[in-house]
Structure formats: structure tokens, C-alpha cells
Amino acid sequence: MQVKGTDYKTPDGTCVRDYIDVTDLVDAHVKALNKAAPGKVGIYNVGTGKGRSVKEFVEACKKATGVNIKVEYLARRPGDYAEVFSDPSKIDHELNWTAKYTDLQESLRVAWRWQKAHRNGYGTTPLAMAS
């Protein structure tokens, strides 16, 4: 794995981002779609509101998978911000939504378990949608 940039003005020098569990992301989309009306939709920041560093993410991946992931630290990419995370207060206020699955390591463990059980993703058989 390549980590680009270790000289940012952050606690460990790597970029800080807001990592969200896909289950929370889907839930936020469903709530927004349920409230949407013709000609009127909302725009929301969807996230945990908490930033975590790339190094924290890599360490959580290692613990969640049990794999000693080799990390190559490279120079930063031009244009990357040191910290980017959401302010989900509007979606909380308007849709009563907050992220529920905020344990990064547990979210990664669930994703890893799913990936190991479904090495080819969902496969080649089309999914049937319920009417």
C-alpha cells in the first residue's frame, strides 16, 4: 500500500479523512430519498464528522485483517488537503440521521469477512430486484 505524504501538519503527518461505513452511507441515501419531493431535494454532508489519519486507517486495516500490510511512504500529492471531514449537523437536524457504525476497525473487519466469503464479488448472476 502506498501512503502519499507524511509531512502534513497533522498529529502523525498523514492526511486526515472522514471514513464512513457503507451501511451508514446507504442508510443516509435512503433517508434522503424518502424525504425528497418533486422539485425539492436536500444536499447533505454525509459522514461521521470525525477525521482519522491515513496511518490510523492502515493500522486498523492490519488489525481487522490480520495481514501485515506492507506500506510504502511516498512524497505528498500536489493539491491534497491535510484534513477533510464532514459536518453532518444538517442531515442530523433535517433527517434525524447520524452515523451508527463508527468503529473503523470493526467496519473493516466486516468488509474483510465479506470480501473473503465473496472473492468474486456478487458473481455473474444478475440480482433480482423485488417488485
Question: pLDDT of 67-115, one tens digit each?
Answer: 999 999 999 999 999 999 999 999 999 999 999 999 999 999 999 999 9
Highest CATH level, class, for 2-117? alpha beta
Summarised one tens digit per residue, pLDDT across range 12-31 is 999 999 999 999 999 999 99
pTM for this model (two decimals): 0.84
Question: 54: part of which helix (H) or strand (E)?
Answer: helix 54-65
Whether pLDDT at 58 is above 60 = yes
